[in-house]
């Protein structure tokens, strides 16, 4: 039987646990965290809960690390100091800015996977970036894919810098889309539409546009944009403003800011 342990029971851990619930192979799930009352939802799903990270890790074949990056180092050191042999475990970390080498410095094992899911993963419509450290074998990689399949699209990257990039693009991306839609909603209400109607419009706008991308896979995004744009028309004039205001340059700054912050976090977490 496959034994899965989650140290930390936050939103991303919940997404993964929900996805794993449809796993066909026999398995058990244990979740540990400092506040037992916050883990009751997992107990109601038939999973084991507790406040003892060491016990959770000891009884697991695969350990998912779902704690905040700022305390991950101390959590791992506590596990190591209390006898957890990480060489016999596969460790899957969700922590932003905490590199495989930083984890390996503590665990003395290179059987580490870094993943970066996004919030739509809770609906099975997410993007999860995956990076495998050098000690992860083929069988363990296949098992990782199997465990994460229910989240949506899995993208394996060649290095951790690409994890950082996808964290900015697809991890933070939903927030940027929400912010864009917020602006359109504000404009709609300023022109007399009510808030509910405005939200419904934005919901269908994003859903329909995503469907157009999916159903026109042979067309580039530029071609899809051009299909909406008549020279001299209203859309054309709007796009001219975006070009004048250097929309592409702004988006580069947005993504660069995310990447820079991730690197800053990595530096501050090295000695945590």
- Hey, what are 147's tokens? 């465990």
CB 38 within 8 A of CB 11: no
The b-or-e profile of 83-94 (16+ CB within 10 A means b, else e) is ebebeebbbbbb
Ligand-binding site membership of 11 (annotated): yes
Is residue 168 within 8 Å of 259, Cβ to Cβ?
Answer: yes
* 3-class DSSP state of 121: helix
Q: In what order do the strands lie in the sheet with 152-156?
A: 48-50, 27-32, 2-7, 62-65, 90-93, 112-116, 126-132, 152-156
The response to whether 152 counts as a known ligand-binding position is no
Residue among 74, 80, 70, 161 at smallest CA distance from 116: 161
The alpha-helical segments, DSSP class H, found in 82-194 are 100-107, 138-148, 160-166, 173-190
Instruction: Tally the C-alpha atoms within 13 A of residue 242's C-alpha that lie toward its C-beta.
Output: 10
**12 labelled as ligand-binding?**
yes
**Helices and strands (H, E) in the chain, number of each type:** 12, 8
The answer to whether the annotation marks 150 as part of a ligand binding site is no
Q: Which of 41, 96, 48 is nearest to 72 (CA)?
A: 96
* Interatomic CA distance for residues 139 and 226, integer angstroms: 45
CB-CB neighbours of 172 under 10 Å: 19
**For residues 128 and 79, what is the distance between their CA atoms, to the nearest angstrom?**
27
Q: Is 7 one of the annotated binding-site residues?
A: yes
Annotated binding site for NADPH: 53
Instruction: Cite the annotated binding site for NADP(+) by residue number.
Output: 7-12
Binding residues: 7-12, 53
């Amino acid at each position: 039987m496959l034994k899965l342990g989650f140290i930390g029971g936050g939103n991303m851990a919940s997404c993964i646990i929900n996805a794993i619930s449809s796993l066909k192979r026999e398995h058990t799930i244990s979740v540990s965290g400092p506040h037992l009352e916050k883990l009751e939802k997992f107990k109601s799903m038939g999973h084991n809960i507790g406040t003892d990270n060491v016990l959770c890790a000891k009884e697991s074949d695969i350990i998912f690390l779902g704690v905040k990056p700022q305390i991950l180092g101390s959590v791992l050191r506590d596990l190591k100091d209390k006898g957890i042999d990480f060489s016999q475990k596969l460790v899957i970390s969700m922590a932003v800015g905490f590199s495989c080498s930083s984890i390996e410095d503590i665990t003395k094992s290179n059987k580490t996977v870094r993943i970066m899911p996004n919030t739509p993963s809770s609906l099975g419509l997410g993007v999860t970036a995956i990076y495998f450290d050098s000690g992860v074998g083929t069988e363990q990689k296949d098992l990782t894919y199997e465990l994460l399949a229910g989240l949506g699209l899995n993208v394996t990257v060649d290095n951790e810098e690409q994890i950082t990039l996808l964290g900015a693009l697809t991890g933070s991306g939903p927030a940027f889309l929400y912010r864009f839609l917020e602006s359109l909603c504000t404009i709609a209400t300023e022109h007399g539409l009510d808030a509910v109607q405005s939200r419904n419009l934005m919901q269908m706008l994003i859903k329909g546009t995503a469907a157009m991308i999916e159903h026109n896979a042979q067309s580039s995004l530029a071609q899809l944009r051009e299909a909406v744009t008549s020279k001299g028309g209203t859309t054309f004039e709007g796009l001219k403003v975006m070009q004048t205001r250097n929309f592409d340059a702004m988006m580069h700054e947005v993504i660069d800011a995310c990447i820079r912050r991730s690197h800053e976090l990595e530096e501050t977490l090295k000695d945590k």
